[in-house]
Structure 1
Amino acid sequence: MTVRVLVVDDHPLYREGIRSAVRAMTGIEVVGEAVDGDDAVRQARDLAPDVVLMDLHMPGTNGVDATRALRAADPRTAVLALTMLDDDQAISAALRAGASGYLLKGAGRAEIERAIVGVAEGGMVVGDGIAARVRQWFSAGSDASPAMPFPSLTGREREVLGLAAHGLTNAAIARRLSLSEKTVRNNVSNVFAKLGVATRSAAVAKARDAGLGVGPL
């Protein structure tokens, strides 16, 4: 049986490299390529791949949101995250969204091939670089997994970030939380500093990659 793979990544050169690598694998074929999360959902609906190789950090609909949508639409489609993001929040968000595997982009062809076959057969596969962390979460119990993203943030800062990730302006956040706009601006500034970002869009991108700002308000 041939494993049908959809490659999702916004970088053309990386897509080309992955396509070439997968085409050289025995029993695996690339049936399509998508440039972002929305494109991935559309193509998965039309192509019905066995496995989606999913980048996480993409413009528009990110890989976490796309994974959640794909799994909801067809649980038979396995998602294998293939990303540069190696922080606990991104790993947790992808797995909670329904990804069956998580690899870093530095993975070799043999590791990617094993992971594709593994998730296609219904298994859970994580790369060598993160396997120890995932084992630790499960061995310590579910409460040990990083369900709370960005632990350096206060509860209020995380709440503000989550609302910003939903697209709310500072004024709208202030009204929703019964705060002054100045207080919201201060919280946003603190979030920028703690996340190491300089713009709201960068903070929102990190938040959504970690699973904040998804679902209903």
Structure 2
Amino acid sequence: MNLRVILADDHPFVLLGVRAALEMHAGVTIVGEAVTPGSLIKLLQGTPCDVLVTDLTMPEVSGAVDDGLDLVRRIRCAWPLLRIVVMTALTNTEILRAIVSDGVVSTLSKMETTDELWQAIEASSKGEVYVGRSVVEALAKPGDEACDPSPVLPLSRKQAEVIRMFVRGLSIPEIAVELGCHSRTVSRQKREAMTKLGVTNDPGLFAYIRAHGVMLVKSHS
């Protein structure tokens, strides 16, 4: 077997660990690595490969290239023969279900073992779709027991403004300057918005907004 693999993740230590694990398998060659959606697209344009192993959330500061589901769909459209394995730390079942329902992309949690990652890569190289055990278990649970945090609620205008600026790459202080308010106010609005969206960290926030956009309430509170 001569399997060419590209790795993409915005955390260098993750790339290092995955590379070390995969290079233990005979016939596997890591032909490139990327840490942003833009660098991944550029790499794919000039580097033939068989399987792409990519994180789902790699925010691009410039906003020039979307990450999340939009990035996966773009890659599938441009390179239809490329097999894709998505690794994610997300537990939001709406997002996981959106990936799995694609029916083409293999998906597994970053909590899985490297052995399971290899199974996903091997299955994908054969044209099969692999779904990791943790993802299967999350999607099999009833709604109130699933990995989704709290129910998704609409955002206020101020919360939506903060989130939109944040996912475009602006920092909390920069958003405060843009909105003419204190950084503590921006942090509070961001925290409240994340609670409403049911996400607990920034990668989850980026992935949710890329997948679903921002839902506003009619009130301007």
Specify the TM-score bucket, using the shorter chain as the normaliser.
0.5 to 0.7
Alignment of 1:118-157 (within 5 A): 118-134=123-139, 152-154=151-153, 156-157=154-155
The one-letter code sitting in structure 1 at the alignment partner of 2:208 is: A
Query: Would you say 1:94 and 2:99 are equivalent positions?
Result: yes
Aligned length: 182
CA-atom RMSD in angstroms:
3.7
Distance 2:197 2:57 in 1: 16
User: Residue 7 of structure 2 contacts residue 54 of structure 2 at CA under 8 Å; is this kept in 1?
Assistant: yes
Q: Which runs of 5+ in 2 are unaligned?
A: 61-65, 169-188, 215-221
Q: Secondary structure at the match of 1:125?
A: coil
Which residue in the other structure is 2:5 paired with? 5
State the shift of 1:46 in Å: 1.4
Query: Would you say 1:32 and 2:37 are equivalent positions?
Result: no
Cα 1:133–1:23, aligned 2, differ >3 Å: closer, same or farther?
A: same
Which residue in the other structure is 1:41 paired with? 41
The one-letter code sitting in structure 2 at the alignment partner of 1:193 is: T
Distance 1:97 1:64 in 2: 10
The one-letter code sitting in structure 2 at the alignment partner of 1:33 is: E
Which residue in the other structure is 2:195 paired with? 193
Cα 1:69–1:25, aligned 2, differ >3 Å: closer, same or farther?
A: same
Which residue in the other structure is 1:70 paired with? 75
Q: Secondary structure at the match of 1:103?
A: strand
Query: Would you say 1:79 and 2:80 are equivalent positions?
Result: no
Which residue in the other structure is 1:176 paired with? none
Report which of the two has the higher share of helix: 1
The one-letter code sitting in structure 2 at the alignment partner of 1:18 is: V
User: Residue 195 of structure 1 contacts residue 203 of structure 1 at CA under 8 Å; is this kept in 2?
Assistant: no
Cα 1:192–1:128, aligned 2, differ >3 Å: closer, same or farther?
A: closer
The one-letter code sitting in structure 2 at the alignment partner of 1:123 is: E
State the shift of 1:152 in Å: 1.7
Query: Would you say 1:103 and 2:108 are equivalent positions?
Result: yes
Distance 2:24 2:195 in 1: 44
Q: Secondary structure at the match of 1:89?
A: helix
Distance 1:158 1:122 in 2: 44
Which residue in the other structure is 2:54 paired with? 54
TM-score of the superposed pair, with normalisation by structure 1: 0.67
Percent of pairs identical after alignment? Answer: 25
State the shift of 1:203 in Å: 8.0
The one-letter code sitting in structure 1 at the alignment partner of 2:40 is: A
